């Protein structure tokens, strides 16, 4: 069984480099196969080709991608405002809300959720910490004290409070990464240092995480 990945000018920009050229299943390594499978509809039918690089399957929103994807660098103005890229705002709309919630993330970044996704986060936290034990109280006090609403204005801008900018080391520019179900905001130098400290390539990590994925018979 073979499949061939279609390309478009947009698709090349949002798809990992390993998929920028056409491949067949037999030529893909395990990490490459994972990316190929992840970026298809599950039957290895490519889903590239929409204006966002993917074809969605979300009823009346078909054609919009529901995952946050891409890498962007945007300016921070004197009021702490940033312009959220349109692709990410479109994804938030597909996921149930055009507005965002901002909080302090792991590893020194900030994280941006749609309001609808944030409700899911809160429900999971409540389910996992039903009893107010000491650890739960400590976690919730630190976690929720760094959560702020971040509604987008008509220009697609949100305001990042100064205490969150300081905690993430963000000054004049912010690196924005779409990471599937949320968006990460980084000081770019801090992000590069994080990658170096992690000490592994994306291919190595993919090999370890997805080593149990089986290929179809070729």
Please indicate, yes or no, if residue 22 is contained in any of the structural domains. Answer: yes
Task: With respect to residue 172, please indicate whether it lies within any of the assigned structural domains.
Answer: yes
pLDDT at 9 over 70: no
**What's the half-sphere exposure (Cβ side, CA atoms, 13 Å) at 40?**
18
- The pLDDT value recorded for residue 138 is 87
If pLDDT is split at 50, 70 and 90, which confidence band does 68 have?
Answer: very high
The answer to whether position 75 is within a domain reads yes
* Dist. CA 4–CA 66, nearest whole Å: 23
pTM of the model: 0.67
State which H helix or E strand residue 173 sits in.
strand 173-178
Instruction: Encode pLDDT of 130-153 as tens digits.
Output: 667 888 888 888 888 999 999 999
CATH number at residue 148: 3.40.1550.20
pLDDT of res. 37: 45
Confidence bin at 101 (pLDDT 50/70/90): very high
Asked whether residue 2 is domain-assigned, the answer is no
Provide the domain limits for residue 176: 71-186
DSSP, res 84: -
Indicate the range of 96-100, 165-169, 177-181 predicted with least confidence.
96-100
In the structure encoding, which two tokens stand for residue 96, read together?
A: 């149930």
- Does 148 lie in the same domain as 97? yes
Phi, psi of 189 (to 5 degrees): -65, -40
Q: Per the structure, how many domains does the chain have?
A: 2
The answer to whether residues 77 and 182 belong to one domain is yes
Report yes or no: 19 and 5 within 8 Å, Cβ to Cβ. yes
Rounded CA-CA distance 168/186 in Å is 7
Question: 160 versus 46: which is more confidently predicted?
Answer: 160
Please give the DSSP secondary-structure letter assigned to residue 27. Answer: G
Angstrom distance (rounded) from CA 84 to CA 202:
26
Shared domain for 144 and 88, answered yes or no, is yes
Is 115 contained in some domain?
yes
Q: What is the mean pLDDT of the chain?
A: 75
The alpha carbon dihedral of 144, 172, 152, 92 has a sign of negative
């Amino acid at each position: 069984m073979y499949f061939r990945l279609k390309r478009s000018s947009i698709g090349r920009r949002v798809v990992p480099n390993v998929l920028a050229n056409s491949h067949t299943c037999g030529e893909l390594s395990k990490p490459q196969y994972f990316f190929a499978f992840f970026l298809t509809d599950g039957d290895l039918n490519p889903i590239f080709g929409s204006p966002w690089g993917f074809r969605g399957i979300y009823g009346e929103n078909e054609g919009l991608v529901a995952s946050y994807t891409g890498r962007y660098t945007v300016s921070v103005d004197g009021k702490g405002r940033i312009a959220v890229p349109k692709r990410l705002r479109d994804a938030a709309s597909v996921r149930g809300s055009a507005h965002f919630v901002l909080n302090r993330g792991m590893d020194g970044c900030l994280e941006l959720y749609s309001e609808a996704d944030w409700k899911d986060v809160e429900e999971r936290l409540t389910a996992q910490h039903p009893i107010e034990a000491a650890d739960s109280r400590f976690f919730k006090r630190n976690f929720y004290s760094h959560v702020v609403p971040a509604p987008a204005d008509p220009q697609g801008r949100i305001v990042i409070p100064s205490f969150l900018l300081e905690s993430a080391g963000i000054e004049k520019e912010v690196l924005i990464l779409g990471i599937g179900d949320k968006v990460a905001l980084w000081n770019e130098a801090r992000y590069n240092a994080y990658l170096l400290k992690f000490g592994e390539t994306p291919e190595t990590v993919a090999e370890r995480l997805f080593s149990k994925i089986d290929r179809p018979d070729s």
